[in-house]
C-alpha cells in the first residue's frame, strides 16, 4: 500500500477521513488507521505480516506505555493566527489548552472542515461537507499558510477518504453518503475519472429522527474497504432492517463486490482505525434521551422506570470504543452500556423504551463494551498513532477528537483526547485530555474539534468544523 510512511513503518497503511451527523446536530469523523494483520475481517493477511507487525508493536507500545505513566501537564496558550487567517471567530484572541511546551496556530481556513488524510505527496486532504474535498499543500516552512485548492466538487456529502494500491496503481477512495467512488491518484496532477464501485448505500431517510447520512471509510491490509452505516433514528427497532443494515459496519472487496456485514448494533460508528495488533476498532456515538432503566426511585420519581430524567441522561449511556470483531453485536438499539461499575468492560442494561424486560434481545449475552467515553462526548476522528512522528510517549495509543454534546446540561465540551493502548491486554485504557479550550465557561463554543491526525513534520493537525479551521499543534 502506497502511503505517507511517517504514519506507519514497515506495514500496510490505511489513511481515512470521515464525518457523520451526531445526535440532532452535525458530527463528523475520520478514521486514519494503520493495518498490519487482518484479524479484523473474515479474510486474513499472511502470518509473516502479522508476526512482524506484532513484534514491532510490542516494542513501541511497551516503551510508550512506560513513558506515559503519571499526569499530563498542560498549559493554556494563545492561538497564533497568521495574516489572512484572522476572520470570523479569530478576529479576537483565542486560546487552547495543550501539553506543556506545545504551540498552537490557525494553519488554514476551510469552511466546514471535518476530516483529513495525508496523501503520498504529503499534501493534506480535507473533507468539507456538503460537496467538496479540499487539498492543502504545505510550503517550505511548515508553519506558513498552505496553498489551497478544491480537489473534488459536486459530490453528495463526501466524508470518508482512503488510499490504497490496486492493480499497481495508487487509488483514492471517497465515501459519499450514497455511494463509494474510486479515483486513480495522479499526484500533483490530481485525480483521474471517477468510478463508482458501490451504489445505493443507505442515505437520507425522511422517516428518521436522527439521520446519520455520511460514511466513514478505511482500507485494510487485505485491501477490503470498511465503512460504517449510521442509524436513521435515535433508537428504533425498525432501523436495523435492510441490506446492508443501518447501525452496522460492513466491508467490500476492492471492486465493490462481496459485501459482508462485520458488526451490528453500532449506532453511529464515527471513528474507524486499526489497532497495533491489526484489529479494527470503532469510536461510537451512543443514543440520546435515554429513559431510566430500573424500577426504583430516581430524580424525585418513586418508580423512575421509563422516565427521561435529565440528570440520568447527562451521564448515560457512555459513548464507546469497541473492537470490531466479525459477527459482534454492539447492542444498539436494544442494549445500553452501564458505566456504574467503571468504564472498562461495561455490561449492558435493557433499553426501557425499545427492549423492556429483554423482550427483543438478551443483553447479558453480549460481549462487554471494551472502553467507555464520557456520555455525549460525540467521538469523531479516531487514529492509532503507532509509527507517527509525535513524541514517543504518545505513539503507544490513539488520538480521538470529541465534538461535544448537544443535549447534555451542562454541555460536554469538545476536545482532543489521547487514549493509551495496552500491549499486554490488547485494549485501550482511560482517555486523557490532550487539547481543550473550544468551550467557554458559560457553555458556549467558538469551535468544535472534528478530527486530529499526525503530520509528517511531527505536528498534530486538528480540524474544526465550527470555526472553519485547521490547527497545527506542535510539540
Block residue for cell numbers 457512555:
318
The partner residues of 166 in beta bridges, in order of sequence, read 169
Helix (H, G, I), strand (E, B) or coil at 15: coil
Task: Tell me the mean pLDDT in the region 371-396.
Answer: 97
pLDDT band at 469 (very low <50, low <70, confident <90, very high): very high
pLDDT, tens digit (0-9, with 9 covering 90-100), for 266-298: 999 999 999 999 999 999 999 999 999 999 999
pLDDT attached to residue 392: 95
Residue 37 predicted with pLDDT over 90: no
Separation of alpha carbons 450 and 473, rounded Å: 14
Round to whole Å and give the CA distance between 349 and 294: 9
Q: Are the CB atoms for 369 and 322 separated by under 8 Å?
A: yes
Residue 439, pLDDT above cutoff 90:
yes
User: Which helix (H) or strand (E) is 50 found in, with range?
Assistant: helix 47-67
The pLDDT tens digits for 312-362 are 999 999 999 999 999 999 999 999 999 999 999 999 999 999 999 999 999
Rounded Cα distance between 184 and 171, Å, is 4
More confidently predicted of 244 and 59:
244
Q: Is the pLDDT of residue 373 over 50?
A: yes
Long-range contacts at 306-312 (CB < 8 A, ≥ 24 apart): 306/352, 306/353, 306/356, 310/409
Q: What is the pLDDT of residue 9?
A: 28
Among 386, 424, 396, 385, CA closest to 61: 396
User: Using CA atoms, how far apart are residues 87 and 109, in angstroms rounded to an integer?
Assistant: 9
Q: What is the pLDDT of residue 36?
A: 31
Task: Give the containing element (helix H, strand E) for 419.
Answer: strand 415-422
The arithmetic mean of pLDDT across residues 142-156, rounded, is: 96
pLDDT band of residue 165 (cuts 50, 70, 90) is very high
Cell numbers describing residue 457: 513534520
| Total residue count of the chain as it appears in this document | 475
Who contacts 442 (Cβ-Cβ below 8 Å, separation ≥6)?
Answer: none
Q: Quick one: pLDDT at residue 466?
A: 97
Q: How far apart are the first and last CA of the chain?
A: 29
Confidence of residue 303 (pLDDT cuts 50, 70, 90): very high
Element (H, E) at 58: helix 47-67
- DSSP code string of 161-189: EEEEEETTEEEEEEE-SS-EEEEEE-GGG
**67: enclosing H helix or E strand:** helix 47-67
Report the distance separating Cα 416 and Cα 430, nearest Å. 14
Is the Cβ–Cβ distance between 292 and 299 less than 8 Å? yes
pLDDT digits (tens, 9 = 90+) for 198-208: 999 999 999 99
Where do the H-state alpha helices sit in 276-342?
310-313
pTM: 0.86
Helices (H), 232-382: 310-313
Which of 391, 402, 293 lies closest to 338 in space, CA to CA? Answer: 293
Condensed to tens digits (0 to 9), the pLDDT of residues 72-122 reads 999 999 999 999 999 999 999 999 999 999 999 999 999 999 989 999 999
The DSSP-derived string for 131-154 is TEEEEEE--SSTTSPPEEEEEE-S
Q: For all residues of the chain together, what is the average pLDDT?
A: 87
Question: Residue 3 pLDDT > 70, yes or no?
Answer: no
Beta-ladder partners of 128:
132
Confidence of residue 130 (pLDDT cuts 50, 70, 90): confident
User: Of 30, 406, 23, 18, nearest to 211 (Cα)?
Assistant: 23
What is the CB neighbour count within 10 angstroms for residue 54?
18
* Alpha carbon distance 299, 312 (integer Å): 8
pLDDT at 458: 97
Residue 429 pLDDT greater than 60, yes or no: yes
Strands (E), 188-266: 191-198, 217-219, 225-229, 248-252, 260-264
pLDDT of residue 129: 87
Taking the C-alpha atoms of residue 341 and residue 338, their distance in angstroms, rounded to an integer, is 7
Q: Rounded to an integer, what distance in angstroms lies between the CA atom of residue 196 and that of residue 256? A: 9
Q: State whether residue 57 is helix, strand or coil.
A: helix
d(Cα 420, Cα 29) in Å, to the nearest integer? 20
3-state SS, residue 243? coil
3-state class (DSSP) for residue 209: coil
CB atoms near residue 342 (< 10 Å): 10
Q: What is the pLDDT of residue 70?
A: 56
CA 412/CA 471 separation, integer angstroms: 21
Segment 180-195 shows an average pLDDT of 96
Mean pLDDT for 9-28 is 33
Amino acid at each position: 500500500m502506497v502511503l505517507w510512511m511517517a504514519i506507519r513503518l514497515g506495514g500496510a497503511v490505511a489513511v481515512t477521513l470521515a464525518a457523520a451527523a451526531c445526535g440532532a446536530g452535525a458530527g463528523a469523523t475520520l478514521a486514519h488507521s494503520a493495518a498490519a494483520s487482518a484479524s479484523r475481517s473474515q479474510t486474513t493477511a499472511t502470518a509473516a505480516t502479522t508476526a512482524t507487525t506484532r513484534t514491532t508493536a510490542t516494542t513501541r507500545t511497551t516503551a510508550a506505555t512506560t513513558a506515559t505513566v503519571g499526569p499530563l501537564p498542560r498549559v493554556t496558550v494563545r492561538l497564533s493566527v497568521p495574516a489572512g487567517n484572522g476572520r470570523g471567530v479569530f478576529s479576537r484572541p483565542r486560546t487552547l489548552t495543550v501539553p506543556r511546551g506545545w504551540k498552537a496556530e490557525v494553519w488554514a481556513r476551510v469552511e466546514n472542515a471535518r476530516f483529513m488524510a495525508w496523501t503520498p505527496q504529503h499534501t493534506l486532504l480535507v473533507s468539507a461537507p456538503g460537496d467538496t474535498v479540499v487539498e492543502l499543500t504545505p510550503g517550505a516552512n511548515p508553519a506558513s499558510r498552505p496553498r489551497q485548492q478544491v480537489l473534488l466538487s459536486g459530490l453528495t456529502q463526501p466524508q470518508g477518504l482512503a488510499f490504497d494500491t490496486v492493480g499497481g496503481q495508487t487509488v483514492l477512495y471517497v465515501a459519499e453518503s450514497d455511494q463509494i467512488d474510486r479515483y486513480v491518484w495522479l499526484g500533483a496532477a490530481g485525480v483521474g475519472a471517477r468510478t463508482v464501485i458501490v451504489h445505493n448505500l443507505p442515505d437520507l431517510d425522511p422517516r428518521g429522527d436522527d439521520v446519520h447520512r455520511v460514511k466513514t471509510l478505511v482500507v485494510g491490509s487485505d485491501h477490503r474497504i470498511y465503512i460504517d452505516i449510521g442509524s436513521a433514528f435515535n433508537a428504533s427497532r425498525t432501523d436495523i432492517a435492510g441490506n446492508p443494515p443501518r447501525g452496522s459496519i460492513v466491508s467490500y472487496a476492492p471492486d465493490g463486490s462481496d459485501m459482508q456485514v462485520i458488526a451490528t448494533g453500532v449506532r453511529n460508528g464515527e471513528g474507524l482505525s486499526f489497532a497495533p495488533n491489526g484489529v479494527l476498532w470503532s469510536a461510537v456515538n451512543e443514543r440520546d434521551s435515554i429513559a431510566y432503566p430500573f424500577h426504583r426511585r430516581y430524580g424525585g420519581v418513586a418508580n423512575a422506570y421509563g422516565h427521561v430524567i435529565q440528570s440520568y441522561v447527562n451521564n448515560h449511556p457512555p459513548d464507546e470504543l469497541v473492537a470490531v470483531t466479525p459477527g459482534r453485536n454492539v447492542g444498539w438499539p436494544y442494549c445500553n452500556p452501564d458505566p456504574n461499575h467503571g468504564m472498562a468492560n461495561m455490561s449492558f442494561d435493557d433499553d426501557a423504551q425499545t427492549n423492556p424486560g429483554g423482550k427483543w434481545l438478551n443483553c447479558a449475552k453480549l460481549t462487554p463494551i471494551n472502553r467507555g467515553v464520557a456520555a455525549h462526548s460525540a467521538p469523531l476522528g479516531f487514529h492509532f498513532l503507532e509509527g507517527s512522528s509525535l513524541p514517543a510517549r504518545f505513539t503507544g495509543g490513539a488520538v480521538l477528537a470529541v465534538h461535544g454534546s448537544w443535549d447534555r446540561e451542562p454541555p460536554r465540551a469538545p476536545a482532543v483526547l489521547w487514549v493509551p493502548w495496552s500491549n499486554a491486554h490488547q485494549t485501550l485504557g482511560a482517555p486523557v485530555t490532550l487539547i481543550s479550550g473550544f468551550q467557554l465557561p458559560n457553555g458556549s463554543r467558538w469551535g468544535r474539534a472534528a478530527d486530529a491526525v499526525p503530520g509528517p513534520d511531527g505536528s498534530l493537525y486538528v480540524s474544526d468544523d465550527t470555526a472553519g479551521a485547521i490547527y497545527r499543534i506542535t510539540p
